[in-house]
Structure 1
């Protein structure tokens, strides 16, 4: 049995990811036990779209022909701004048709915008690079964007976060088609981590400041000036000039977070900086960012970052 993997070369597609994925799949194919046939277990094709018709520009099949089907189609990352809807429309139509024929669709980083144009993401979870999160939510409000996660495998729809997460997606697909043993061996051969990382290990808190609610913006300025330590409801509501219940409702609507969670994320962001660049013990850092109880600090840090403060320092300390 041959698994057909297509990589779509849309305008601006990052070729280093295209070629890296190709190498990963060919390494995995060589590691897996070969059938008696000369046809590989994994067939990788690079595809371009011309006038709504896909054309193969590369195939790992030693006797290449046009694939009658695709098991998965990958939308690689891009270093360019996402395509506008008019330019993306022919690609989206072609992808939607292939999905209807049974192909899984997978995006990496900004490839999620092209995936979104297919209209298949309503109610579906997906991820992208954390700096694209708000733009993706604004463009596709029916999708459930979760940039804490590096890989989201929804079966027929997969997505990966940052530019280099093509390796994580590639290993996930190797596991799907060749099994976990081949996946682990491929990761060892390429000296890359097994899937399991989370994007929130690397992301920074990017607050919404362009929502247009000037009253809430005043309260946000107070929170930022104090790095989250001034989080008393009465003080924030007074600064915004709002009754407390009204303030809570409008703050969450404007920022997407409760005032408490917003303050916690500011405190954790400061703690990440101190852990990465400083030498102070974790108990002192907890105190400096506003937590008198180091245990409570550790719980909040783990919930937001996905690592304990000690694990974060070991991984990222400079």
Structure 2
């Protein structure tokens, strides 16, 4: 039998991903027993401490065991964290060394949502792809610049390390892992029992783009502000670089380093975010919104919108604005 360690970190208040993972894997085990194959995993909640309080003492969790008692495990799940990530890392330092050792000894590791901060602090994500909640992408990039963050991806799977996007999308990761460890039939059964959509790959539709501003490059901040204030104008990178008296190459390099996007990509994301808000709050047509955000070609607008959100402008409007259907 394989061993599954669902981590219960110290000083955290996010219980849902711990209990959700435990319930789904437990049901997968039960399904295998019903099919005559026996349990696949010995499932344990594993803590840094023997007792952890959640929600200011409202709920107390007594993990089955502590990390110091686990010599070898096969799969580790790191749940989501509170918003104080530096504090979370410091409070769980023993966990970080344990994760490195277990991975070296052959364990696979999955992080849920902001649990990626703990995983990244081990160094195991360096040079690898990673996802986390889109709302903390900027902070994550500033703390772990050597990790290839891809917040458009709902799930990443690389070298026995899995990460996923934000909030309750962890359910999709657990279904993914169940399919990988058990089989497709078990994953489908669990998805039906818990009513979780199968094969969801992107969290782009849910992203709210606020601009990457957590950097110290004042020139880039001014360029960002200019792009955001000239939504209806087509602004070239050459024009922007000349405004700040630097070469195009220097401007692009600094912009990408600070924001993670090229100037063109940044402009596209600002315009699409404005279009999304218009679709959510007004009865304007696709063409009206398209012109408002500086596009004149329907095909080009549709392609950029789909690239960033994962769905078409019409699908987005129908999904988030019921009045538009009346």
Same fold (TM over 0.5): yes
Looking at structure 2, the residues matched to 251 and 17 of structure 1 have their Cα atoms a distance apart, in angstroms, of 36
Looking at structure 2, the residues matched to 270 and 213 of structure 1 have their Cα atoms a distance apart, in angstroms, of 25
Looking at structure 2, the residues matched to 281 and 13 of structure 1 have their Cα atoms a distance apart, in angstroms, of 43
Q: Which secondary structure does the structure 1 equivalent of 2:117 belong to? A: helix
Q: Aligned in 2, Cα 1:223/1:83: closer, same or farther, shift over 3 Å?
A: closer
What is the TM-score normalised by the length of structure 2? 0.85
* Partners of 1:4 and 1:42 within 8 A in 2: yes
Residue 73 (structure 1) aligns with: 76
Looking at structure 2, the residues matched to 80 and 258 of structure 1 have their Cα atoms a distance apart, in angstroms, of 28
Residue 63 (structure 1) aligns with: none
| Higher mean C-alpha displacement, 79-88 vs 271-280 | 79-88
Q: Which secondary structure does the structure 2 equivalent of 1:32 belong to? A: helix
Which among 148, 154, 163 is matched to residue 144 of structure 1? 148
* Partners of 1:168 and 1:194 within 8 A in 2: yes
Q: Which secondary structure does the structure 2 equivalent of 1:5 belong to? A: strand
Aligned residues: 306
In structure 1, runs of 5+ residues without a counterpart are 60-65
**Pairing of 1:168-247 with structure 2 (within 5 A):** 168-227=172-231, 229-233=233-237, 235-247=239-251
* Partners of 2:78 and 2:110 within 8 A in 1: yes
* Partners of 1:233 and 1:244 within 8 A in 2: yes
Residue 53 (structure 2) aligns with: none
Residue 56 (structure 2) aligns with: none
What is the deviation of 1:251? 2.9
* Partners of 2:153 and 2:165 within 8 A in 1: yes
Looking at structure 2, the residues matched to 67 and 246 of structure 1 have their Cα atoms a distance apart, in angstroms, of 51
Residue 21 (structure 2) aligns with: 21
* Partners of 2:17 and 2:112 within 8 A in 1: no
Q: Aligned in 2, Cα 1:281/1:144: closer, same or farther, shift over 3 Å?
A: same
**Pairing of 1:25-64 with structure 2 (within 5 A):** 25-34=25-34, 40-50=39-49, 57-58=63-64
What is the deviation of 1:88? 3.3
| 1:3 paired to 2:7 | no
